[in-house]
């Protein structure tokens, strides 16, 4: 592509071919941003203090500076070979295509989801292209190693970040207020049924639903006592967490690779009611008292009754703090790597 400046060594490119539209740091406070996009912006902004950052985004048509780095159209990521480090969000096939264009670059796949069975060829393809994978939790990384088996490339993990300043304060908690703060496809239909059963036992309970709004989803009938908050600005969402008895998330169908809102809730002292054996739930919340069998409605009700009388003291894992996560990314990106491969190794 003539006229498009190439990246220089010691610059970092983040390539997001999966986003619905371009996004910028201003959206972090405005709300409605998905967890992956929020994580990309936070990590990039932290790294940009010492390293030039470029973020190539699907749906972006302009180029502009930002606190997270220079925001650029996706097509420009394929222009001119570079020796920079390239971090590709989720799309392993795009990472392999970029290897053909950038044979001398270091390429990482930053994976935020669980690949489906049709993606099993990704292991051998990534190995052939000399592309390592960064997962977002230990649970996620262990799952991917098992999924890919002997074909697995190098796999590591760095947690998604939460802000360093998120700590408990003196906000009074409402013992009747539960909060669901995720996209509705993450088990909200089941959560409605669990809430309805809990409300039969504790009639004063209410459930507030903060939906970021990036995905429409059929959740069935809505029980009495539910209030929809829509997409909240992030400070308002955090304030809502502080007021709630708990983040109510005992659904058993959607496995989180990390669960950013769970970590944020614990950071401000709000417990999270989650299904024990699902995704990274147990790794993120840490405290076993927050983990139950979400299929057992008696456990759901009993835990709520107990917390209404004696709220638990919860803390967040310090490894999730942005300062720590940014340091881990900086260490990973600073590691020297000797690479030798030819283009015909790319699957």
Least confident of 140-144, 223-227, 332-336: 332-336
Q: Write down the pLDDT at residue 31.
A: 74
Question: What confidence tens digit (pLDDT) does each residue in 67-121 have?
Answer: 999 999 999 999 888 878 999 999 999 999 999 999 999 999 999 999 999 999 9
Tell me, what's the pLDDT at 261? 96
Cβ contacts of residue 246 below 8 Å, gap of 6+? 178, 179, 265, 270, 271, 272, 273, 304, 307
- Residues with Cβ within 8 Å of 267's Cβ and at least 6 positions away in sequence, in order, are 162, 163, 166, 167, 316, 320
For 14-64, write each residue's pLDDT tens digit: 999 999 899 999 988 887 788 899 999 999 999 999 899 999 999 999 999
Burial (Cβ within 10 Å: 0-12, 13-18, ≥19) of residue 66: middle
CA dist., res. 320 & res. 335, Å (int): 22
Helices 188-201 and 297-309 cross at an angle (nearest 10°) of: 60
Per mean pLDDT, which range of 31-45, 255-269, 319-333 is the poorest?
31-45
Distance CA 20, CA 263 (A): 25
Consecutive H or E run containing 189: helix 188-201
3-state SS assignment for residue 120: coil
* Strand (E) or helix (H) holding 297: helix 297-309
Number of residues that this document lists for the chain: 347
Beta strands in the chain (DSSP E): 12-16, 53-57, 70-73, 85-89, 106-110, 131-135, 155-157, 174-180, 206-209, 226-228, 244-249, 272-275, 291-292
What's the whole-number average pLDDT of the chain? Answer: 92
CB distance 177 to 245 below 8 Å: yes
Residue 162 is given by DSSP the state B
Query: Pick from 126, 134, 144: which is nearest to 39 by CA?
Result: 134
pTM for the structure as a whole: 0.91
Residues 85, 12: contact at Cβ < 8 Å?
A: yes
For residues 322 and 228, what is the distance between their CA atoms, to the nearest angstrom? 30
What is the distance between the alpha carbons of residues 90 and 71, in angstroms, rounded to a whole number? 18
């Amino acid at each position: 592509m003539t006229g498009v400046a190439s990246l220089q060594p010691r610059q970092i490119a983040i390539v997001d071919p999966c986003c619905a539209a371009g996004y910028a740091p201003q959206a972090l406070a405005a709300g409605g941003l998905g967890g992956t996009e929020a994580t990309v912006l936070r990590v990039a902004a932290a790294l940009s203090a010492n390293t030039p950052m470029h973020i190539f985004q699907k749906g972006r048509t302009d180029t502009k500076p930002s606190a997270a780095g220079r925001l650029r159209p996706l097509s420009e990521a394929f222009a001119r070979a570079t020796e920079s480090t390239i971090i590709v969000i989720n799309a392993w096939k795009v990472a392999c295509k970029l290897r053909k264009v950038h044979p001398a670059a270091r390429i990482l796949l930053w994976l935020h989801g669980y690949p489906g069975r049709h993606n099993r060829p990704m292991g051998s393809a990534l190995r052939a292209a000399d592309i390592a994978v960064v997962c977002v939790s230990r649970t996620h990384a262990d799952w991917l190693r098992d999924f890919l088996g002997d074909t697995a490339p190098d796999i590591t993990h760095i947690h998604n970040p939460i802000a360093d300043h998120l700590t408990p304060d003196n906000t009074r908690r409402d013992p009747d207020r539960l909060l669901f703060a995720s996209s509705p496809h993450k088990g909200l239909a089941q959560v409605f049924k669990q809430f309805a059963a809990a409300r039969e036992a504790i009639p004063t309970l209410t459930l507030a639903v903060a939906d970021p709004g990036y995905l429409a989803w059929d959740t069935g009938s809505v029980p009495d006592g539910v209030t929809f908050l829509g997409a909240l600005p992030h400070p308002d969402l955090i304030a809502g967490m502080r007021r709630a008895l708990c983040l109510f998330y005992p659904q058993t169908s959607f496995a989180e690779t990390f669960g950013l809102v769970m970590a944020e809730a614990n950071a401000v002292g709000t417990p999270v009611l989650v299904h024990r054996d699902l995704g990274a739930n147990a790794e993120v919340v840490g405290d076993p008292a927050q983990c139950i069998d979400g299929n057992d409605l008696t456990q759901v009700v009993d835990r709520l009754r107990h917390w209404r009388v004696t709220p638990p003291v919860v803390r967040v894992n310090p490894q999730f703090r942005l300062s720590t996560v940014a340091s881990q990314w900086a260490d990973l990106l600073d590691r020297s790597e000797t690479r030798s491969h030819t283009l015909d190794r790319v699957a």
